[in-house]
Amino acid sequence: NKLSYIKTVEDDISFIQIPKLPEVIAEEIAADLNELRKCFVSGAYRGCVVLCGRVMETALHRKYFEVAGQDLLETAPNIGLGNLIAKLKEQNVKIDPGLTQQIHLINQVRVFSVHSKKEAFYPSKEQAQATILFTLDVLKKLFE
């Protein structure tokens, strides 16, 4: 006898948990993660990846402000995530080695979503889930 298990929507998105965050960004990131849940459930996986980029951008900017005392959103609003990571490394912030590759993936999805290209990238459910899990892990490590 095979046991059957029917997944509910709650089971499907239970992996999207909001980690402990600085109060100043907690509400904004919680709103993004709630939107992320909606995208994931509806199958909008490109939207998931783009929102992961937004979440990481918010978190990395906050981390830089905490360690350097400088708000790059005001002084360098178009810095880009790669340069932001480099600035964090200059401040001796430990950065996960896979973060730059993750940022590259997110940027590629952003570019293909915004600009007309020959072939758009449509992440699979599993790719979106992996991106979300990695993003949540980065958040957790940045602020633990």
Give average pLDDT by consecutive 10-residue segment, the chain, 144 residues.
52 71 92 91 92 93 94 88 91 88 81 67 87 89 88
Q: Per the domain annotation, does 3 fall within a domain?
A: no
Q: Per the domain annotation, does 30 fall within a domain?
A: no
Q: Per the domain annotation, does 18 fall within a domain?
A: no
Structural domain containing residue 117: 45-142
pTM metric for this prediction: 0.83
What total number of domains does the chain contain? 1
Q: Kindly provide the b/e burial profile for residues 100-122, where b requires at least 16 CB atoms within 10 angstroms of the residue's own CB.
A: eebbebbeebbebeeeeeeeeee
Q: Per the domain annotation, does 115 fall within a domain?
A: yes
Cβ-contact 29, 59 below 8 angstroms: yes
Q: Report pLDDT for 22.
A: 92
Q: Per the domain annotation, does 12 fall within a domain?
A: no
CA torsion, points 30, 78, 87, 85, in degrees to nearest 10? 50
Which conformational region is residue 131 in: left (phi greater than 0), alpha (psi within -120 to 50 degrees), or beta? Answer: alpha
Q: Per the domain annotation, does 29 fall within a domain?
A: no
Q: Per the domain annotation, does 98 fall within a domain?
A: yes
Q: Report pLDDT for 13.
A: 65
Q: Per the domain annotation, does 15 fall within a domain?
A: no
Q: Report pLDDT for 18.
A: 77
Q: Report pLDDT for 45.
A: 92
Cβ-contact 56, 85 below 8 angstroms: no
